[in-house]
Structures are given as C-alpha cells and as structure tokens.
Structure 1
C-alpha cells in the first residue's frame, strides 16, 4: 500500500491536482480540470503517460469537479492510500503563519477572510468543502500563500494608518508565498551561494508580484493586504492612488462592488491594451496598444525591483517564475533591458512548483521526514 497525498489548487473555473507518494514525494498522477460551471475538460497524466484530452464533461460546480477528480484517482489507483488532501489557500490573515490541519474552527476563520481575497478565497473554501464531503477519511491540510511573508518586520508590513486600524489587521500580508518558498527551497539545494544572498524573485502570471528574499527568508513583497496591490496584472490594476478610488466612487457613484469589478476584472493588461489579458495574444498582436501594455508591465516590474532591492540593501540575482516569467521570453527581455541600473546581476528562470512545496509541508505535518527539494 502506497501512502499518498492529493494536492489541490482550486481556481474560479479550474481545479489543478497532483498525487504524490509520501516516499520520496514522487508524482504519481497530475492533471487539470477546466471549465467548471459549464462544459469541463479534463487532462491528466498517470506516471509518465499522458492521457488523451477527452470530450466535454458536465461539471456544474466545485463539488462535481472534486467528485470527478476523486473518481479519476480511484480508477487509476495503484494500491494508493490517500492520507491527506492538501489545499492551496490564498489568504491566511494574521492567524495562520504555517500550514495547518483543517478543522471546523479553521474553516470559520478562513471564511472571515473572504473579503480580503474575493477572487480566490471562496473557491479555495469550495474545494475544501467538497474534499471533506467526498474523501471523509483523509486529513485536510491548508497551505497558505501568505505564510512565507508572515514574519515581515513592521517596517515592511505596516500601512501609515491610525493604530486602531492597524490593530484590526489592516496591514500588508503578501501573496504567492508558496511559489517564493519553493524558489528559496530549490536555491538552498542547487545554488547555496544565491540562497544565502539577496534575491528578487518575480512571480509573473495572470497574477503578478515580486518578493525580496534574503538568506532564504521573505523580507518584502509587492502585494499588500489583498492580491490587488503592486504590479499591474492580467486584469488587476496593481498599485493605484487611493485618492483615485475615492474620487471615482464620489464622482461616478461607484459602490465598493463596482470598484472591485473594475480593479480586479477590468484593469491591468486587459485595460491598457484594450485587447486581452493574455500575454501570448498581446505578443502576437500588431496593435500599438498591445506593445504599450507590455512596455508598461516591464517598466513596473523594473521599478518595483528597485523597491525590493532597496528593502534588502542590494541584490545578487533576479529570478523569473510563473507562466509569463517562465514562458514569455520577449517579456523577460523587455524586463532585463530595464534592469541595467541594478548592475551586472545574474538572472535565472525557475519553474513554479507550489504543489511540491505543499506536498513537502503536508508530509512534514503527517510525521514524515523532511524531503529534499
């Protein structure tokens, strides 16, 4: 019997999953179900064999999606015993600085954080609810995107706001922590010279941020209380003058829900280009606005890289990760061209692997020996 972990990354209309053996954390199965809420598609690989892409599936909600994944795992069961279901949870607030076993009390605390991550947290919680219902014998474990940043100095996590608001949790938290923690873990094994130094890591995808990592620890990051701050993203605005927000609310009569829609879903590269939030589409376009959007994005990455460098007092390397960071070479070159002011620094591309980082955490919680990256 092979002890196994099911690692889930639940999105608004997708469910990514991997099954890991607890011996060596080998990947036994991996896949992605897309199109939740409509005609879904399921792609997966079993061991080294990729399954052909099947026809559309009727998948009305996350519980249905989870049932499909559990059924798929059962049908390809290589004498596996599923010990735990491990969930990526975007926001852990002040309460969670490390992965935890999910209890009813934990769920209530995570529900209270939904307003801080309205695009992500509800879907994370839907995945947890479905897993608890469909795999009742497995332990459910939450791994948080905020946890890697939990020990930031007040110099970096504080807003210049009245104390009574800061005391109520109005502060910077930071996100993409599992991605950055994986980079720190991998560098410790493969590049100890850089792991002990000062690295600016850039997780660039439809959501994007930078992190200042010094000696393997997060010092500062560009996202703040929510996953809206910092860099412009696919459809998110990134940093914006807060006075512009209150102006729009007063001048145009926008309520908070409308502002959320504008800032989270109608801004970023999508708004700057007037074409798409998809970088591949923008790179293929001859429209000048597509080029403008990509130049704007590269400029902001470079500007915030200077901020992260200042937080550490220097820089030894710059790391690209995430979908854009790994696969969009022309965007990387636009950014590199603007990083010359940092001097002759090494740049690396490291594939994101939040799922393996989550598996390492879960195995540790369940009593396994620490596993090499």
Structure 2
C-alpha cells in the first residue's frame, strides 16, 4: 500500500492534478495530468512517472459544460480505480490569494474558507475556482485533510515600504497593500538556486516568471524583497491578456468619456489587453512569433520593453543585481523574448551566449557577462506536495 498526496491547481477552464508519494524532500510525481476545456468541452489527459499516456476510464465521460463540482468527483474515482494499492492521504491546493495574514501553508477548515471567500474580488480569475476545488473534494471525501498553499505567502518577507501603496492610511490599514503573486513558483526557484549558483544564490537575484500571467521577484538571501505585481494580479508586467500597470487616469477617462462601467473595465483589463490587445492576433507568444503581422512583432517588443524596465526598477529595490533567472512557459521556452529583454540590460553588463540561449540551456549568459543569466523550469506542484505532506503529517 502506497500513501500519496493529491495536488490540485484549479483554474477557470482547467484543472491540473498530480499524485506525489508521501516523502519529505523532492519526490517525483507518480502521475500528473490535466482536465482542459472546463465549462465547455472538457478534455482529459494524464501521464505516469515514465511519461506514458494514461487513458481515461471508459465509464468516465466528461459532460459538456461540466464544472469543477462534477469533474473532481470523477477524477477522484478515476485515480482510485487506476491506482490500485494507493491511498490518498491529503490534498494540497494552489490558492492564489491568502491576504496579509498567511505567510505559510494552512490546514483548511470552514473558517479559513470563509476568510478566503472575502478575497475573491482581489483575484477574480483564480480564487473562485481554487475554492470550488477545495469544496468539491470535501463533498466527496469530507474526512480528507486539505491544505491551502498561497501564491501571496512568499512575498510576506518584504519590508513595509515595499508593500505600501500611497493611498490614505486608513485604506492601507484596511488591507489595500501590495501582496505579490506567483509565490509558489518563486518558492521553488529559490529552493533550487544553490545547486545552480552556489554561494551566489544568497545574493541579489531577480526571477522572471513569464507566462500568460507574468511577474518579477527580486530576492536577497532567497527571500522576496520586491515584486512587480501588487494588490491584484493585474499589476506590473504586460501579460497574455492583462495590460499590467496602467495610469489610473486612463480608467477614469474611459469611465467618464467612453461610458464604461466597472464590469466593462474588468473585462478590458483581464481579458482584452496585453499581448492579445496590442497584437490583435493572439495572447500566445508562439503564435505571435510565427505571425507576419507587424502588430504581432510590436506586441512582443512591448512585452520585452516593459519587462526590462520593471527589472531595472527591482534591481534598484534590491541594491544591485547578481543574477537573472527566467522561468514559466515563455521564460523557459522563448529565446527571442530572453534575447530582447537582455539586450536592453546590456548597460548593466548583461550579455547572452546566443547558442546557449537558442538551446534553452540552464546557463545562457556569456563568459564575459557581469550578470549570470539562467533558465530554470519551475515546479509549483512539488512545492504544494511537500508542504501538504509536512502539514498533514504534523496534524495526524
């Protein structure tokens, strides 16, 4: 009999899942997979530890328009039927927003769920679905320990000035501060830095988590010093569909002169902007690179321009720069984006090795570069698995 931890990362239209053996340290998943197209035409995919495709059970048809509450019970049944001799002892969840009170993973109870419900307006694309997954698991296996791992927790090490927004103090005390996100990704990268940088891992490192959602984190001694995202996941860098930081006067203008409501603005900022809005082609960086449209190239260059500018701002907050790490979908796989960003950082002494960059090698800076530049794949699920195992084991 093998005991395992289930990891769930629930998004608006997808559910990533993985099973990890109950081991402290850095275990590899027993299996991992995804249900895509939730709410429309769900599609199931899974692979075992060797990369072999695992078929869905014939008795598990995924209903069109099914939500998390229907799909998670089916997933749990599939896991139990296809993994004989395996017992799920706990479930760990990515929860995007933990507010200002949670600097570590937390065992889930009803009081915590009520607290996290209040944070839905700060992360409307993610938080409702994160919480829906927790409730769906509890409905099927109410006795199963569940753990929330927060994307905001990693940034609670920042000094007060880095978290403040220059609004009236009463608003700050009400919780309107810079929280930061992508913390599970940054946590993983921080844990791997010593094997790649040795003693320099304790220095001034900026990690660029570049995907459909994108942010930067300045680290010192592998702890968060500053980050590009703020009160919500809208701030900072230009992203796939999100515009990133914007002059608030633009929003006032759109409301006063274009008749846009707050819901109109929400849709504009979360769904119609960023790479998609600028290019008019796609929010997918690979599609934009393959496009001949000049607007597609401009969108790529604007993404890199804004990222390089924000990176230098974080270097100031961090008192300098020793290394840059690229991670997440774009950061790990797009040599063009890395090159365009680093070209703008040449004045800092950043210089890439073109061949290493094209190969997506781990170390992509040249021998003459004053700043080490690396590409490190992230692994948020393993962070959740380790935290869930430790916390659930301590509670038994």
**What does 1:46-195 correspond to in 2, within 5 Å?**
46-51=48-53, 57-59=62-64, 60-195=66-201
Distance in 2, matches of 1:30 and 1:192, equals 31
SS at match of 1:50: coil
CA contact (8 A) 1:86 1:142 kept: yes
The structure in which a higher percent of residues are strand is 1
Distance in 1, matches of 2:152 and 2:110, equals 21
Distance in 1, matches of 2:198 and 2:167, equals 39
CA drift of 1:152 comes to 1.2
SS at match of 1:58: coil
CA contact (8 A) 2:107 2:392 kept: no
After superposition, the CA RMSD in angstroms is 1.5
CA drift of 1:64 comes to 1.8
SS at match of 1:200: strand
Specify the alignment match of 2:244 in structure 1. Answer: 238
Which of 27, 40, 46 lines up with 2:29 in the alignment?
27
SS at match of 1:142: strand
Distance in 1, matches of 2:381 and 2:301, equals 31
Distance in 1, matches of 2:264 and 2:99, equals 24
CA contact (8 A) 2:18 2:29 kept: yes
328-337 vs 150-159, which deviates more? 328-337
Which of 343, 350, 364 lines up with 2:376 in the alignment?
350
Distance in 1, matches of 2:54 and 2:338, equals 32
- Any idea what the Cα deviations from partners look like across 1:134-167, whole Å, max 9, x if unmatched? 2223101000000000121111000111111100
Specify the alignment match of 2:13 in structure 1. Answer: 13
- Any idea what the Cα deviations from partners look like across 1:98-134, whole Å, max 9, x if unmatched? 1001100000000000000011111111111111112
Task: Indicate yes or no: 2:385 matched with 1:359.
Answer: yes
- Any idea what the Cα deviations from partners look like across 1:13-42, whole Å, max 9, x if unmatched? 100011000135331110011011122111
Task: Indicate yes or no: 2:209 matched with 1:197.
Answer: no
Specify the alignment match of 1:37 in structure 2. Answer: 39
- Any idea what the Cα deviations from partners look like across 1:217-247, whole Å, max 9, x if unmatched? 0000000000000001000010000111112
TM-score, normalization: structure 1?
A: 0.95
Distance in 2, matches of 1:193 and 1:299, equals 31
332-341 vs 321-330, which deviates more? 332-341
- What runs of 5+ residues in structure 1 fail to find an aligned partner? 369-373
Distance in 2, matches of 1:5 and 1:248, equals 48
Distance in 2, matches of 1:79 and 1:95, equals 39
CA contact (8 A) 1:182 1:354 kept: yes
Which of 277, 280, 299 lines up with 1:271 in the alignment?
277
CA contact (8 A) 2:145 2:392 kept: no
SS at match of 2:42: strand
Task: Indicate yes or no: 2:300 matched with 1:294.
Answer: yes
- Any idea what the Cα deviations from partners look like across 1:273-332, whole Å, max 9, x if unmatched? 011111111000010000000000001110011011001111111000010011112211
SS at match of 1:366: helix
Which of 293, 308, 314 lines up with 1:308 in the alignment?
314
CA 1:52–1:86 in 2, change beyond 3 Å: closer, same or farther?
Answer: closer
113-122 vs 78-87, which deviates more? 78-87
126-135 vs 68-77, which deviates more? 68-77
CA contact (8 A) 2:219 2:225 kept: yes
Specify the alignment match of 1:371 in structure 2. Answer: none
Distance in 1, matches of 2:71 and 2:182, equals 24
CA contact (8 A) 1:41 1:53 kept: no
Distance in 2, matches of 1:47 and 1:231, equals 35
- Any idea what the Cα deviations from partners look like across 1:176-233, whole Å, max 9, x if unmatched? 0000010001113443323211110000000000000111100000000000000010
SS at match of 1:245: helix
Distance in 2, matches of 1:351 and 1:224, equals 24
Q: Number of paired residues?
A: 368
TM-score, normalization: structure 2?
A: 0.90
CA 1:188–1:135 in 2, change beyond 3 Å: closer, same or farther?
Answer: farther
CA drift of 1:47 comes to 2.6
